[in-house]
């Protein structure tokens, strides 16, 4: 039986993270924290899939730039598992606006764009990564991106020390 504090969450390395060669750095941060990758795939997404993934933003003025951004290249999707994984991942990722992200977070270390600049240039905030906002979003996003048969259960070496 899985403990109730063990969660799964979705993480996406967005096209800017792929093109900049940051996949290894991103994965290392999560694995160093003791999170386990239980699913992974890379794919190009189209506008229809973008609308499904970002459905809560469809009516917002920035949606068009967000759609252009997420469909501009391949996206690496991962399902991470661990104790309170949603919150832990959000801390590692940092603030959505890279300018506000603390040093030591993925966005704080690899991006610096702010909302004002994005608005002025009519571009998306290139912030490297997406992480599910809460456990409900995580469950919905995981179902959107992965089939259940693509998620795996296994024991990591040393897991008794990190779980």
Taking residue 50's Cβ as centre, other Cβ atoms within 10 Å add up to 20
Catalytic residue among 57, 112, 117, 130: 130
Q: Which of 68, 66, 53 is nearest to 138 (CA)?
A: 53
Q: Is 152 a catalytic residue?
A: no
Asked if residue 23 lies in contact with residue 31, where contact means CB atoms within 8 angstroms, the answer is no
Separation in Å, CA 100 to CA 27, 68, 93, 112, 139: 22, 23, 12, 8, 27
Closest to 85 (Cα-Cα) out of 139, 23, 147:
139
Catalytic residue positions, numbered? 130
């Amino acid at each position: 039986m899985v403990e109730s504090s063990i969660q799964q969450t979705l993480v996406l390395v967005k096209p800017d993270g792929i093109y900049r060669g940051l996949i290894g750095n991103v994965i290392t941060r999560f694995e160093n924290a003791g999170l386990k990758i239980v699913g992974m795939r890379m794919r190009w997404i189209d506008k229809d899939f973008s609308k499904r993934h970002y459905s809560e933003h469809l009516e917002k003025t920035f949606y068009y730039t967000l759609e252009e951004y997420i469909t501009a290249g391949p996206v690496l999707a991962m399902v991470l598992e661990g104790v309170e994984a949603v919150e832990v991942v959000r801390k590692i990722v940092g603030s959505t606006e890279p300018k506000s992200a603390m040093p030591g977070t993925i966005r704080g270390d690899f991006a610096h764009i702010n909302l004002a600049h994005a608005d002025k240039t009519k571009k998306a905030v290139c912030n490297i990564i997406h992480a599910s906002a809460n456990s409900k979003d995580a469950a919905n996003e995981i179902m959107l991106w992965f089939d259940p048969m693509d998620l795996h259960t296994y024991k990591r070496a040393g897991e008794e020390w990190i779980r």
